[in-house]
Amino acid sequence: MNSSKVSGPAVRIENLDKYYGTFHALRKVNLSVERGERIVVCGPSGSGKSTMIRCINRLEEHNGGRITVLGTELDDDVANIDGIRREVGMVFQHFNLFPHMTVLDNCMIAPMIVRKLPRAEAEATARRYLEKVRIPEQAMKFPGQLSGGQQQRVAIARALCMQPQIMLFDEPTSALDPEMISEVLDVMVTLAADGMTMICVTHEMGFARRVADRVVFMDGGEIVEEAPPEEFFTSCRNERTRQFLSQVLGH
């Protein structure tokens, strides 16, 4: 998929509806993300943040509306889905590294079997990104031998090795001990500085302030508020947003 040449937003979500059985998890969500833009998504637990970003790479199937990623609409066409997944990296709350492979193999497997890169090239890429996330010396270890913060950085490197155009983060720091949060956020800040298109679900408001172009607040399956960070933090209009902010910033 040579979509870098396609113009238009990186991700466009229009009237997105998602049901789990009879439960209405996303209600007519609209969101457009430009190339190079950094979006932070926040909101109370259960508000549909994960569901929304998982719809972007089809880990969840949506039930209504349209999602267009890099000019390709997500539908039941498997080729489209595979193409989009190659261009969209994802980092999970619980890392989800492959425990039976070394760190290096974790980073090499997808480029080799999905992008069909030769081994030497895949290894060079993997080492470059491990360097970038500042753990080149752990390459031959297994994930179980690393700390949470190190594992999450490997997970970021693994996603980057596919050379994606968009990165999705689903609460990348919420499973980490406090002292490891900043090492992961630092990596994400570097990534943002490189111009990566990022959609981050996170409650790290300091991070939002530093890198986000826009902050999106969700509640009850809806986007309630959407604003640049300084505006979002100082003059948000919505009562629910204010309540939420006082909770996450309150201590």
Partner 1 sequence: MEMVVVAPPAPGKIEDLKRRFFATPLQALLSLISLAVMAFIAWKLLNWAVFSAVFTTSGGPEACQAAAGACWSVIAARWRIILFGLYPFDEQWRSALACVTVVVMTVLSCLPAFWTGRRIALVWGAGTALYYVLMKGGVLGLPQVGEEAWGGLALTLFIFVTTCLIGFPLAICLALLRRSELPWISRTTALIIDGVRSLPLISILFTFAIVLPFALPQWLVGDKLYRVILGSALFFSAYQAEIVRGGMQGVPAGQEEAAMALGMSYWQRIGRILLPQAMRNALPATINQFVISFKETSLVVIVGFFEILASGNAAYGTGEWRFAYVEVYAFIAFIYFVFVFSLSRYGAFLERRMSVGER
Ligand X SMILES: Nc1ncnc2c1ncn2[C@@H]1O[C@H](COP(=O)(O)OP(=O)(O)O)[C@@H](O)[C@H]1O
Q: Which residues bind partner 1 (CB under 8 A)?
A: 57-59, 82, 85-86, 88-90, 92, 94, 96-100, 102, 109-110, 113-114, 141-145, 155, 158-159, 162
Per-residue binding letters, 28-57, with Mg ion (x by CB under 5 A): ----------------------x-------
Q: Does 149 bind ligand X (CB under 6 A)?
A: no
Q: Does 22 bind ligand X (CB under 6 A)?
A: no
Give the residue from 66, 55, 90 showing the smallest Cα distance to 16. Answer: 66
- What span, in angstroms and rounded, lies between the C-alpha atoms of 193 and 180? 21
Cβ atoms of residues 167 and 221 within 8 Å: no
Burial (CB count within 10 angstroms: exposed 0-12, middle 13-18, buried 19+), residue 189 = middle
Q: Does 20 bind ligand X (CB under 6 A)?
A: yes
Nearer to ligand X, 50 or 106 (CB): 50
The DSSP-derived string for 6-50 is S-S-SEEEEEEEEEETTEEEEEEEEEEE-TT-EEEEE-STTSSHH
Collapsing DSSP states into helix, strand and coil, what is residue 172? coil
Q: Does 125 bind Mg ion (CB under 5 A)?
A: no
Per-residue binding letters, 44-73, with ligand X (x by CB under 6 A): -xxxxxxx----------------------
Nearer to ligand X, 43 or 143 (CB): 43
